[in-house]
Amino acid sequence: MAKRAAPEVNAGSMADIAFLLLIFFLVTTTIATDSGLNRKLPPMDDENVEPPIIKEKNIFTVSINGKNQLLVEEQLMDLKDLRKAALEFLDNGGGTDENGNKCDYCKGKRDPNSSDHPNKAIISLKNDRETKYSMYISVQNELVAAYNILRDRRAEELYGKTLAEMEKDYDDVNYRGNKENLKEKIEKIKIEYPQKLSEVQ
Amino acid sequence: MGKFNKKKSGDLPAISTASLPDIVFMLLFFFMVATVMRDNTLKIKNVLPSADQVEKLDKKDLIMYIYVGQPSERFQSQYGKESRIQLNDKFADVSEIPAFIRAERASKREELRDYLTTALKVDKDANMGIVGDIKQELRKENALKINYTTKKGDISNNQN
């Protein structure tokens, strides 16, 4: 006995479906770009140059030992508290910068025993040879985060936008505002909270 | 009459393969877009640590890559389990870094040489000793712009 004919499936729209998927993937996938923490190494020491004298209170020492323990200002500290401690140190503004100006944008405690001015505040990071790289990156990340928080806060105050947004605008080709002006604003914030992170060898 | 070829109603209709090329092209395009060309074959374990304050590294042609990590299993009999440096396709010693930097610099156009960045792709289980040595060599060579390449993620992923 003859079987009943199965009706033929119309495949005409298959190509459309395929293209739809193709376009979907084209739009959603991004080619992986590397990202990371940018740092600048100090140049080799010039032996003829006398190192500047820096007051103890303007240095925030962070050291990591071989067991990945964190020593901040001579005290053991947990990684999760580091960001706040660094923030308080940088934003203290207890004194004046080298030109005698007070830090009028700092919101810290103005403790005379902590840093004078963001301009003078230096974070010194020291690590052991046995320190694990992941721990080191975590610490670097927290310190950079402290700077970023302060810069964002200042940018928000002055221009109503975070620094990250301003930098994004600067890179955006369709940005309609004045780019020169924007660059100046970004530079100003970076000068107000300079990233002074030194790594001890 | 002559119409003896008329399909019998019992035959299964052939599945249309007209859209097969579309599907194949779709896959092709997808892989073309999604794959990242890797110019180095890694001979080491290279799991990057996570960080969330990252900046993007664009301009891929202006980056020198230095890989550090434990040799992968098939090289362990030869190179041991201690973290090693990989430059291009070979294992290298710290003392080979200056030559590597100079070679990379020489291969770039002169006006671009100042913009070269060294990306340190270091395995998260490596220790800082070897990284410190590399940094010292880079300072000697005056290649001061570096980038600690990380994954984007919370730092709590770094504790294991």
Joined together, the tokens standing for residue A79 give: 């990684």
Please give the domain boundaries of chain B with CATH numbers for all domains. 50-152 (3.30.420.270)
Q: Give the integer Cα–Cα distance in Å for A168 and A159.
A: 14
* Nearest residue to A3 via CA among B85, B3, B8: B8
Residue A102: inside a domain: yes
Please list, in sequence order, all residues whose beta carbon lies within 8 angstroms of the beta carbon of residue A91, skipping any fewer than 6 positions away: A106, A107, A108, A118, A150
| Cβ of residue B116 closer than 8 Å to a chain A Cβ | no
Question: What is the tally of structural domains in chain A?
Answer: 1
Number of cross-chain residue pairs from A and B with Cβ atoms under 8 Å apart? 185
- Mutation for testing the B interface, residue in A10, A19, A33, A35 having most B CBs under 10 Å: A35
Residues in chain B where the model's pLDDT stays below 50: none
Tell me what pLDDT residue A4 has: 76
Confidence check: pLDDT of A200 > 80 = no
ipTM exceeding cut-off 0.85 for this assembly: no
Contact by Cβ (8 Å): A179, A166: no
Share of chain A above pLDDT 70, in %: 87
HEC sequence for A86-127: HHHHHCCCCCECCCCCECCCCCCCCCCCCCCCCCCCEEEEEE
Tell me what pLDDT residue A14 has: 67
The verdict on a CB contact (< 8 Å) between B8 and A6 is no
pTM over 0.80? The answer is no
Which DSSP helix (H) or strand (E) runs through A76?
Answer: strand A75-77
Model confidence pLDDT, tens digit, residues A55-85: 788 888 888 888 888 888 888 888 888 888 8
Report, as an integer, the average pLDDT of A180-188.
85
> Burial, A46: exposed, middle or buried (Cβ in 10 Å; 0-12, 13-18, 19+)?
exposed
The verdict on a CB contact (< 8 Å) between A38 and B122 is no
Model confidence pLDDT, tens digit, residues A5-38: 777 777 666 667 767 777 776 666 556 677 888 8
Tell me what pLDDT residue B1 has: 52
